Each structure stands twice: as C-alpha cells, then as structure tokens.
Structure 1
Amino acid sequence: MTVSLRGGMESREGCHVFHFTGQLDAYSEKQFLDFVREGLEGESSPVIVDLSKIDFIDSSGLGSLVQVARQCSEAGVRFLVVGNARVVQTVKLVRLESFLHLKDDLASALQDLAA
C-alpha cells in the first residue's frame, strides 16, 4: 500500500472483508486493485470492501471499485461496499450505490450476505 492508503484483509462469517484507511485516489488505485485482486485470486466467497475509514475518494478510486465489482460479478461472487458519509456522498453523486451494493456499516453488509 502507498503512504496514503493502508489496508488489510480478513475472513469473517464466510466472506472476505477488505478494510482500508487513508485515501483511495489516483495515487493509490493501482495498489488498491493489486491488493484486492491478489486477495481474491481463486476465491469464490462473498467480498466486502470496507471504506468506512477512508478520508478521501476520487473518480479514480470509484473506477477501481467498479473494476472490482465487475470482476466479482463475472466470477459470480457477491460484492458489497461499506462507506462512511464522505464515501456514500461521492458514490451517490455518480449514482453507483446500487451497482456497488453500498451499505452503511459492516454489520449491515454481513447481515445482507447472511440473508
């Protein structure tokens, strides 16, 4: 990860949860994509990308989320994004909340996957 983006992954309740802090922007999108794609390689479990601790997201960050969502869709893997107020506002501005299956918090995302 770059200095502006830090992340990790854990298996939780039958899914992969990727969590990030910092900024998801043009400077960090490649590292974000590489990290997530490496974590998903050969996996078929649902995926949650937790951006609740992201300080900033720009169009490049949104583009990288769309790429991961498409990759998951093509592989038949469920995909959800958790965002804070800043992330939610940015995602809704470009009307991607349905495509990214945007959730308010991790508990809601895990509950949605369990249903």
Structure 2
Amino acid sequence: MTDRYQVFHLTGQLDAFSEPVFRKVIGKFVDEGPHHVILDLSAIDFLDSSGLGALVQLAKKCQGYSGTFQVISNARVTQTVKLVRLESFLNLRSSLAEAVEHIPVA
C-alpha cells in the first residue's frame, strides 16, 4: 500500500465459499482508504458469479469514494469477466505497472 493506492494479491479461488470473507476484508480496507484499489487476480484459478458480484460491489464502493478500481487479470479471469461484459467496468489490466499508470496523480 502507498499513500495513493492499495494493491491486493489474491491466489486460489474467488467463489461462493471465499466471497463473503473476501468482500468483508477488502471492503474494510477500501473504507479506510486510500480509495484507489488494484486487485491482482493473476494467480486466481477460478472465478464464479459470486466472485464477480463481489468485484462489482467493490468497484462501486471505490467509485462512491471517488476512487478507482482495477483488476490485474489472467486468461481465465479475463474470459469469465468478458462473458458478462464487465471488462471495461472492472478495468482489466495486464500488469501492476499498467494499473499504476492509471491511478490519478492528484
């Protein structure tokens, strides 16, 4: 975490079993700020509809704080997100460097 943004690196699965804890923990950090969030899902093996719902809720929470929400993706996550046409809303990125470039300076 820096004073401008937070980065979270996740591994494993983001599904109905892990989603409640994920949403609670990450949501608390979003509430505390900074409100520009980069979520690294490049090591996620599986993402289901519950995980997608949690991502959408977190993106909306960041927007509510005038922050940004970006997802570093892998092929599997990208495919799942594109199926529901959320790739633009979730701001899919290919690397941390690319995501950091999109964090507002001021």
Provide the TM-score with structure 2 as the length reference.
Answer: 0.91
Equivalence map 1:16-95=2 (5 Å) = 16-95=6-85
Aligned length: 105
Q: Flag structure 2 segments of 5+ consecutive residues without an equivalent.
A: none
Tell me the equivalent position of 1:6.
Answer: none
Unaligned runs of 5+ in 1: 1-10
Alpha-carbon separation, structure 2, partners of 1:42 and 1:82: 22
Superimposed CA distance per residue, residues 10-67 of structure 1 (whole angstroms, 9 cap, x where no aligned partner):
x147310011000000001001101101212231441101100001000110000000
Which runs of structure 1 show a deviation greater than 2 angstroms over 4 or more consecutive aligned residues? none
More strand by share: 1
Say whether the 8 Å CA contact 1:21–1:51 is kept in structure 2: yes
* Cα distance in 2 between the residues matched to 1:70 and 1:101: 12
Q: In percent, how many aligned pairs have the same letter?
A: 50
Partner Cα separation in structure 2 for residue 106 and residue 85 of structure 1: 16
Higher RCO (CA 8 Å, separation ≥ 6 residues): 2
Alignment of 1:88-103 (within 5 A): 88-103=78-93
| TM-score (ref. length: structure 1) | 0.84
Partners of 2:50 and 2:104 in 1: how far apart?
Answer: 31
Q: CA RMSD in A?
A: 1.5
